[in-house]
Chains A and B, each alone.
Chain A
Amino acid sequence: MPLDDRYQLAFRLYPYERSADQDAAAPVRHPVVVMGGGPIGIATALDLGLQGIPVTVLDDHEGIGMGSRAICFAKRCLEIADRYGCAQPMLDKGVVWNLGKVFHEDRKVYEFNLLPEEGHRFPAFINLQQPYFEKFMVERVRAAQAEGAPIEIRGKNRVERIETKADHTILHIDTPEGPYTIHADWLIGADGASSPLRGMMGLDFEGRVFQDSFLIADIRMLSDSFPTERWFWFEPSHGAGASTLLHKQPDDVWRVDFQIGWDVDRAEELKEENVRRRLDAMLGGDVAYEIVWSSIYTFQCRRMKQFRHGRVIFAGDAAHQVSPFGARGANSGMQDVDNLGWKLGMVIRGEAPDRLLDSYHEERAFGADENILNSTRATDFITPKSTASHMFRNAVLDLAEHHAFARPLVNSGRLSVPCTYDGLSLTGADALPGGPARTRPGSPCPDAPVGNGYLLNALGGGFTILTLDAEAPETLTEDGVTARRHALSARDDASGALAERYLGSADRAVYLVRPDQHVVARWDRYDETALRAALRRACGKE
């Protein structure tokens, strides 16, 4: 099969180049190969490459695909990108919004201001077209390469076939200059919702199909009359869709999503005059705009039974797929990478046993189930499936116009927040009486102001012993793994946010924090025996 592009490129960032592997007498063996150069594959390369682990990304295109696709990047995702050193350009380019309006038929039901919590480096989320998000990460790869990070991205390298062995995988690859073969100690499947790798391995991907189609139109407004707000219509009287979402993106571009039903003629609906007919009905006909991109999508909520299959590990949409409501696709994929990177790094360096990687499946499948639950609930609210649920949905909207109690029931998508690994294998004890619930073991550390900077800048990469007004040694080494102390005092943050988030009613605290900034365990004092046990547990050694 020829290596034709399946989609147009927004940015051609990794044109095909001949690799020395193609001329090698015997297949070259690589520590880590990533299938797929999308956001999750590139993030995986950054995480491992910045640890000094050689990683090779194979993509069957030469750059980033067209189309805004994922447009909403949540705080946790930006914090992860910041750990990789590429969040600032995202923040600079992205659009921040706080005001949302909900409409039913032709009435505004209510509006809300998200009023983000103070004391975080990053906003609750930004709107940014996916190609920019990916481009900033690839630019970070280029900078890291220049600093010596062993990352390679091979464009127009399509994996045709694999053979899985006990301790490696054989990959047969096609290129514009013919086929070649490499071996990989570890293979990461980041090749998207229709994952060819999953297909080659004959693995399941089951879940619920939603019988609805959505037409996306990205439009550039030629006037500045539209505010930077999120508008969501249920059953809009303009009739252009059963529900409609209007969202601002950078470059004066607005995303409009029309729910258009199940049995639609895709080619017909995507004709410019038909897209314009819907847009004109919604916008009123006298608003000038140009169509930047349009597409029709359907979706499913499903996940693989197992994210890890020996030396092959799946991440992002390849492992789990959700409805778009709540922005849980790319955001949760980035959390997969955050979770996988340090574990794979430790196993490759021989610092942790192979079974640490089983906790990747345990934790991220738990996250995927939470995301699927939330996005399924939003979908059921937006597109009620029975007379009874339609009646309740509209009753909620009717009441929400006048009564505050009904507003939390309106569900047009719950924004992606990272999950807490409560009670899972790596999570240790909570021995901090009075400690806040949001920083209990398993939680991702919330950011907080510290001096002139932010807490999260000091966490991650390795294990950290975070002390607040508590004594502890500067380092603790257990079975070859070292945790380093980061000493703080409640007085380091005059706003009180640090104490509120990490002390609660306690006077002092000691936290053990993982390389992905999740809390392992916490205590009201330094207890060497307990800390050593928690460190072993977090490395899969207990």
Chain B
Amino acid sequence: MALNTQPNIADPDEFYAELIRAHDGLSDAESAAFNARLVLLLANHVGDRATLTEALAAARKP
């Protein structure tokens, strides 16, 4: 399963607003911890090891 980098979220503005809202009231450290948990949840959902490696590379060097 290759990493899908084409648009894949139905209502991107609504999603983005929800993502930012999820950080409301968090300190910077709490935000970072939140993001770490979120990455792990999504990574588990993806599951495929090769895809995860590809995503890590894409995030390192956008």
Contact = CB atoms under 8 A, between A and B. Distances in A.
12 contacts: A381-B16, A386-B23, A387-B28, A387-B31, A388-B35, A389-B20, A399-B62, A404-B5, A404-B6, A405-B7, A405-B9, A409-B16
B23 A414 contact: no
Contacts of B6: 404-405
Interface of B: 4-9, 12-13, 16-17, 19-20, 23-24, 26, 28, 31, 35, 58, 62
Interface residues of chain A: helix, strand, loop or mixed (majority)? helix
Interface residues of A, number: 23
- B13, B31, B58: residue with the most chain A Cβ atoms closer than 10 Å: B13
A400 B14 CA distance: 18
A182 B6 CA distance: 62
Contacts of B9: 405, 408
Question: Which 4 residue pairs spanning A and B have beta carbons closest together?
Answer: A388-B23, A403-B5, A388-B31, A408-B12
Given A392-B19, A405-B6, 19 more contacts: A374-B13, A377-B13, A377-B17, A380-B20, A388-B35, A389-B23, A391-B31, A396-B16, A401-B62, A403-B5, A403-B58, A404-B7, A405-B9, A408-B12, A409-B12, A409-B16, A411-B13, A411-B16, A414-B13
A471 interface: no
Interface in A359-394: 374, 377, 380-381, 386-389, 391-392
A377 B26 contact: no
A409 B9 CA distance: 10
Contacts of B4: 405
B7 A388 contact: no
A12 interface: no
Contact of A377 (B8, B16, B31, B62): B16
Contacts of B20: 380, 386, 388-389, 392
A407 interface: yes
A402 interface: yes
B43 to A, nearest CB: 17
A388 B13 contact: no
Nearest to A384: B20
A398 interface: yes
A401 B4 CA distance: 16
Contacts of B62: 398-399, 401-403
A392 B62 CA distance: 14
Contact of B8 (A374, A401, A405): A405
Contact of A407 (B7, B23, B35): B7
B15 to A, nearest CB: 8
A538 B37 CA distance: 51
Interface string A118-133: 0000000000000000
A414 B13 CA distance: 10
B13 A405 contact: no
Contacts of A402: 58, 62
